[in-house]
Every structure is written in C-alpha cells, then in structure tokens.
C-alpha cells in the first residue's frame, strides 16, 4: 500500500512521540498543519492521516463505513507502530481513532500511548439528535453552517460546494451509521475534549468516554462550539501537549 497518499508526514524515529490525527467530516490533513510547530516544541510529531476523497485525494471515493476504513488505516500505520505513538480524532475522526485502537488490540499490535478524542459522544451511547447525512442539500448546508462547519465563502461558491458536499455527506454517513460492539475497556490513557457550547455533544456524553478505558481518563472543556479545535486552538494544543507529554516517560518500545 502506498503510505505516501495516506501520510503527508512520515513518522520519524527521532520523534519522542508521533501523533496520528484523524479529521472531522469533510476535513483533511491540512487542518493539522498549524499543529506542527506547537506540538514539536514539546517533542510531539503531528502526523495527520489523509483519508480518501479530500484535498490531494479528492478523485478517490471516500469511505462510508468505519469497519471498511479501519483495516486500511491499520495496514498503512503498521510499519510505524514499533515506536511511541498516540491517536487523535475529532468528531468523525474520534470514532475512527477509537475503533483503530480496538482493532490494534485485537491483533496484538503495540498499543497507543494515548487516545485523545474530541467533539463526539461516547461510542456506546445512542445519539438522540437527528442524522444529517440523509438531509436534502439545502437543509444540510443550513445545519452545517449553524455548526460552524461551512464558511460563508464556501456557501457562496457553488462550484466548490459541488465538490465539498458529497465528501461531507459521505463522512457524516460513516459517522452516523457506526454501531458500537461491546469489548473490554482499552488499556490506554484516554482524554476526551469538548467545546463548552457544542450542540453535538454535552459534558455528560463526553464524560461517558471514561468507561472505554481501564487506564487514566481526563476530560477537558474549551471555549467554543463543535469546532472549538479551531476557535480555541492555542489553548487546546497547549493542553494536548501537556496531556501527551505526561505519559511519555512510561512509554517504551
């Protein structure tokens, strides 16, 4: 498999910790570019995973089911799991990172030093909110804009929307059709981040992630809504660096 398509930044053996990052619906590796320098200052290498259907992979068909995507990602990352690493995912990306961690455990692969999820209810909960992926285009656009996921400039550019909306819809389908299967809690540190005003996940739904780890659990709340990772980026990255660095001393390969 061509890892270069999936990993714009190939993990370095010199890095104390590589952080594999998974985006929200419609997002790509470019979202994590501003993370590089702040995390590097605390010894963490940001390694975004570029999923099919976006940015330089826009001609490829996006995945619509988590159970089909995770084995592909696992195969790409396998050569780099012999060194300290962690997983991060926001919203849709959170469930991909979580299921990847569980798949790696089932296969006896080296576990992540830390799993960080943000902007998503715990996987074993049933989301009471209406689904988005099956809405008509105009209604979907309004809902996404209300969440802060569609900038005004994009809404005003039909030619760009024609490319972006099918990807967002496919990613939403991947997230909203996910069905949890019970397994023992993961033996890894787990941190759950949320926005104080996120309409997609409240504090109780975020804290429920605690049942998915047999190790240390931390819950962090930041100013902002569903996309607090952009609006409160500096504070979020500072805390992320601290949380990840806290476990570095106990990780060896």
DSSP result, 6-41: H-SSPPPTTSSEEEEEEPPTT--GGGGGGGHHHHHT
Residue 175's nearest CA partner among 132, 224, 114, 128 is 132
Q: pTM for the complete prediction?
A: 0.95
- C-alpha distances (whole Å) from 30 to each of 7, 34, 121, 144, 165 are 12, 8, 25, 20, 18
pLDDT of residue 163 exceeding 90: no
Q: Are 175 and 92 spatial neighbours (Cβ–Cβ below 8 Å)?
A: yes
Q: Binning pLDDT at 50, 70 and 90, where does residue 146 land?
A: confident
Burial class (CB in 10 A: 0-12, 13-18, 19+), 171: buried
CB neighbour list of residue 28: distance below 8 Å, 6 or more residues apart: 48, 50, 51, 54, 55
Active site residue 91: yes
Using DSSP's 3-state secondary structure scheme, residue 45 falls into strand
CB atoms within 10 A of CB 22: 26
Number of residues that make up the chain: 253
Residue 211's nearest CA partner among 194, 197, 192, 232 is 192
Q: Are 189 and 216 spatial neighbours (Cβ–Cβ below 8 Å)?
A: yes
Identify the weakest region by mean pLDDT among 12-26, 64-78, 133-147, 220-234.
133-147
Which of the following CATH numbers is that of domain 3-127+180-250: 3.40.50.1820, 3.40.50.300, 3.40.190.170, 3.10.20.30? Answer: 3.40.50.1820
Taking the C-alpha atoms of residue 137 and residue 5, their distance in angstroms, rounded to an integer, is: 30
pLDDT of residue 251 exceeding 90: no
Taking the C-alpha atoms of residue 61 and residue 110, their distance in angstroms, rounded to an integer, is: 30
Average pLDDT, the chain: 94
pLDDT of residue 253 exceeding 70: no
Q: Given 46, 91, 118, 191, which residue is catalytic?
A: 91
pLDDT the model gives residue 249: 62
Taking the C-alpha atoms of residue 192 and residue 211, their distance in angstroms, rounded to an integer, is: 12
Taking the C-alpha atoms of residue 226 and residue 220, their distance in angstroms, rounded to an integer, is: 14
pLDDT the model gives residue 48: 98
């Amino acid at each position: 498999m061509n890892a270069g398509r999936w990993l714009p930044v190939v993990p370095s053996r010199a890095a104390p910790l590589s952080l594999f990052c998974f985006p929200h619906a419609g997002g790509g590796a470019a979202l994590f570019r501003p993370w590089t320098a702040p995390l590097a200052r605390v010894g963490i290498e940001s390694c975004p995973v570029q999923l099919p259907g976006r940015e330089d992979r826009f001609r490829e068909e996006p995945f619509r089911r988590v159970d089909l995507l995770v084995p592909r990602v696992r195969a790409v990352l396998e050569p780099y799991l012999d060194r300290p690493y962690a997983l991060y995912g926001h919203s849709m990306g959170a469930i991909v990172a979580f299921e990847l961690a569980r798949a790696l455990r089932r296969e006896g692969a080296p576990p992540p030093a830390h799993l960080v999820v943000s902007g998503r209810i715990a996987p074993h909960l049933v989301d009471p909110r209406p689904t988005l992926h099956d809405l008509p285009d105009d209604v979907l656009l309004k809902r996404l804009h209300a969440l802060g996921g569609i900038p005004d400039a994009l809404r005003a550019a039909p030619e760009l929307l024609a490319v972006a909306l099918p990807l967002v819809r496919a990613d939403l389908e991947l997230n909203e059709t996910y069905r949890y299967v019970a397994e023992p809690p993961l033996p890894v540190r787990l941190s759950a981040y949320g926005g104080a005003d996120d309409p997609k996940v409240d504090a109780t739904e975020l804290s429920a992630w605690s049942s998915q780890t047999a190790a240390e659990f931390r819950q962090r709340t930041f100013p902002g809504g569903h996309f607090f990772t952009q609006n409160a980026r500096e504070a979020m990255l500072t805390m992320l660096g601290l949380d990840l660095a806290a476990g570095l001393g106990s990780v060896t390969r």
